[in-house]
Amino acid sequence: MKKYEELEVHVVSLIGDAYDIGLQQCKEIQESAHLAQEELLLALSTNCNAQKAQEELQVVLPNLLEEIKGLASGLNLPYESIIKMYSGYNMTFPEMGCTSFALDEFYVRNYDFSPSLYDARLVFSNPSEGYASVGFSQQIIGRLDGMNEKGLVVGLHFVNNQWEGEGFLASTIVRILLEKCKNIEEAISQLKKIPHRYCYNYSMTDTSGKMVVVEATPTEQIVCAEHLFSCTNHFESQKLKEKNKAYIENSIQRKHDINRFIANACPTALSAFYHFNDGNSPLFFKQYKQYFGTLHTVVYSPNQLEVIVGIGENSEPHTFSLHQFIRGNLLLPTTIKGKILLAI
């Protein structure tokens, strides 16, 4: 017998300077499971040098340090501990899977992981310094994917954690790109300035309709530009193929599945959402205990500054306007709910 569990994602609105944004999130953290993850997050960040993390953030995005200070103050926890838990610097993190596809007018993505380490937060942010954005958070300050007010869309795709360096997790890097960069060109330039912890793909599009995948390791980044792209969890450039995991058949198969979908349909943003979110789709996965279950489906439309969100499988699509949020005219729900299959 199939056993489903409700998955509830909190919708968060953050407005103000970086320190205040840190403070605003403290009550939510205290009332949720995030503090219960404190011991686990500290265990995963034993390699983090808090002083080095602070120095690197001061260079790439000082506002994040102010947000961390606000978190530390509001949670009444040591500043050093908050840097280790939430900065993503030199942190150990399990493997994950993500599938994305983009056309001229939209970018659609499934995020595959485990609910045990999922923030379950859709964050609308309008900082006094930096670009406003909407995206799913990871470790509070990081972003799994997102779109900013200039129409830049970025998503992360895990490739390998065996090749590691001293640097930030991809979720922190996505946040930096969304807050600092107005287009793909700026994002590519910024990616080359940030120290990377592991091997990841970064899929990006913007209002120009240009689409790229940046294959990033701790030592180099290669830009793969395409008119129409899909992106999964392996490197395709000849130079970086040796950095892939030994088993990438699942990732390759998802690329093939997307190509078949493209060949057999003229997808719209909504039809792409339904294809990715269908529990029977070859792009939807249910291995949650193995850190490979689809938690959310999201479609970003850069020119309209709209986002379509679904939680779990066969979910109702929820559409929001980032433009209306920035203008103060968007009434957000408190939560978005869906269902995931935990056992059969």
Q: Judge whether 334 lies within some domain.
A: yes
Q: Residue 149: give its domain's CATH number.
A: 3.60.60.10
Beta-strand pair 318-321/292-301: unpaired
Q: Judge whether 294 lies within some domain.
A: yes
Q: Judge whether 114 lies within some domain.
A: yes
Q: Judge whether 69 lies within some domain.
A: no
Q: Could you read off the pLDDT tens digit of each residue along the chain, which spans 344 residues?
A: 678 899 999 999 999 999 999 999 998 888 766 656 677 777 777 888 999 999 999 999 999 999 999 999 999 999 999 999 899 999 887 777 899 989 889 999 999 998 988 999 999 999 999 999 999 999 999 999 999 999 999 999 999 999 899 999 999 999 999 999 999 999 999 999 999 999 999 999 999 988 999 999 999 999 997 655 789 999 999 999 999 999 999 999 999 998 888 777 778 999 999 999 999 999 999 999 888 999 999 999 999 999 999 999 999 999 999 999 999 999 999 999 999 997 66
Tally of CB atoms within 10 A around 226: 12
Residue with tokens 């300077």: 17
Amino acid identity, residue 263? A
Range of the domain at 243: 3-15+94-343
Residue with tokens 């960069």: 181
What's the total number of domains in the chain? 1
Q: Judge whether 215 lies within some domain.
A: yes
Q: At what angle do helices 62-75 and 79-86 cross, to 10 degrees?
A: 120
Q: Judge whether 148 lies within some domain.
A: yes
Q: Judge whether 285 lies within some domain.
A: yes
Give this prediction's pTM: 0.95
User: Is-contact 141 68, C-beta < 8 A?
Assistant: yes
Q: Which two tokens stand for residue 339?
A: 């269902």
Which of 126, 142, 25 shows the shortest CA–CA distance to 330? 126
248 alpha carbon, distance to own chain's centre: 21
Which of 84, 80, 70, 77 shows the shortest CA–CA distance to 18? 70
Q: Judge whether 165 lies within some domain.
A: yes
